[in-house]
Amino acid sequence: MTGFGAAEGALGSARISVELRSVNHRFFNSTIRLPNEISRWEGEVREVLRRRIVRGHVTLTARLERRPDQTTVIDEARFAAAASVLRTLRERHGLEGAVDIGSVLRMPDVIAGAPDALEADTPTLVSIVEAAVASLMDAREEEGDRLAQYVRARLNIIEEALDRIAARAPERLVESRSRLRENVRQLTEGITVDEQRLAMEIAILADRLDLQEELARFRSHTQAFLRTLANPGGEAVGKRLGFLLQEMLREANTMGSKANDSTIVTDVVTVKEELERIREQVENLE
């Protein structure tokens, strides 16, 4: 599910802002970008995300803002090493231009904040990240409500198609029975037919073409789907809904194979199309 969340707060003598962006993904995946000064806490930050977010690719970006009067520390040893590396690369690859101070200062870890900016404790950073996650989850919840409305609209279309199939199924059985009797009459003209055996064959045909069980199971899965959508109960509903969709598709395929009727087949195709539309959205639900 997509969404955006942000939070900020004091971290030592610095101020940190945390932004979270999420896009659709079937599983949890994260990208974390922390300033060098707090990169040692990446594991704790990732654990907060993993604990709160089940699905989606989440990108976390943190920025530190120091006070204007805060001392900036340059690590001279790293400055010298970085300058040496840049000069070596320039000579080795025949690059033009001089290695200036700006290029060196942009190298990782050359500039550090004041020492006290690094003395913030882990719980402080974690609490700010959790606030950003809460903001993100609010945005994702709003999107989830919109997706739920979309899914319910698709289910209404499916229910209408099932109603048409249920209404057509008995008519199709009568037509099939009459057609079978007529075919037998034409093939056995002038020959005595065993009415008991014919009645048995008609009963077998009716049982083979009957769709009531498939319709009942499909509607049972639909009700379970709606209950789960309305009351997720704190679980990742996407996986359960995906399973129910598979069962509905199984029943639709069975109805299609037993239909033997173009009108029913047309409605079965409609059902399968709407199930596919729902599946694409359910993969995003958490």
138 vs 192, which has greater pLDDT? 138
> Residue 28 pairs with which residues in a beta bridge?
56
Q: For 204-257, how does the pLDDT look when each residue is reduced to its tens digit (9 = 90+)? A: 655 566 788 889 999 999 999 998 888 876 556 777 888 899 999 999 999 988
Confidence tier at 119 by pLDDT (50, 70, 90): low
Q: At 201, is the secondary structure helix, strand, or coil?
A: helix
- What pLDDT score was predicted for residue 122? 82
Range of the structural domain that residue 99 is part of = 73-105
Q: 0.85 exceeded by the pTM? A: no
Q: What percent helix, strand, coil does the chain show, rounded to 5?
A: 65, 15, 20
- CA pair distance 137, 145, nearest whole angstrom: 12
- CA pair distance 146, 199, nearest whole angstrom: 53
- What pLDDT score was predicted for residue 115? 44
Of the listed ranges 11-20, 50-59, 65-74, the one predicted with least confidence: 65-74
Question: Same domain, yes or no, for 160 and 213?
Answer: yes
Confidence tier at 12 by pLDDT (50, 70, 90): confident
Residue 41 lies in a domain: yes
Question: Same domain, yes or no, for 132 and 98?
Answer: no
Lateral strand order in the sheet of 14-23: 3-11, 14-23, 56-65, 28-33
Of the listed ranges 5-14, 34-43, 191-200, the one predicted with least confidence: 191-200
- What pLDDT score was predicted for residue 282? 81
Largest distance between two CA atoms of the chain? 112
Residue 115 lies in a domain: no
Residue 214 lies in a domain: yes
Question: Same domain, yes or no, for 46 and 95?
Answer: no
- What pLDDT score was predicted for residue 116? 45
Question: Same domain, yes or no, for 81 and 205?
Answer: no
Question: Same domain, yes or no, for 249 and 148?
Answer: yes
Q: For 161-217, how does the pLDDT look when each residue is reduced to its tens digit (9 = 90+)? A: 999 999 888 877 777 666 666 665 665 665 665 566 656 666 565 556 678 888 999
121 vs 87, which has greater pLDDT? 87
Question: Same domain, yes or no, for 152 and 193?
Answer: yes
104 vs 43, which has greater pLDDT? 43
Of the listed ranges 65-69, 86-90, 246-250, the one predicted with least confidence: 65-69
Instruction: Give per-residue burial for 268-279: e unless 16+ CB within 10 Å, then b.
Output: bebbbebbebbb
Tokens of 161: 């198609």
Question: Same domain, yes or no, for 170 and 262?
Answer: yes
Question: Same domain, yes or no, for 145 and 273?
Answer: yes
The total number of structural domains that make up the chain:
3
Cα separation of the two ends of the chain: 8
74 vs 70, which has greater pLDDT? 74
Question: Same domain, yes or no, for 170 and 208?
Answer: yes
Question: Same domain, yes or no, for 48 and 145?
Answer: no
Domain CATH number, residue 202: 1.20.120
Confidence tier at 117 by pLDDT (50, 70, 90): very low
Question: Same domain, yes or no, for 152 and 209?
Answer: yes
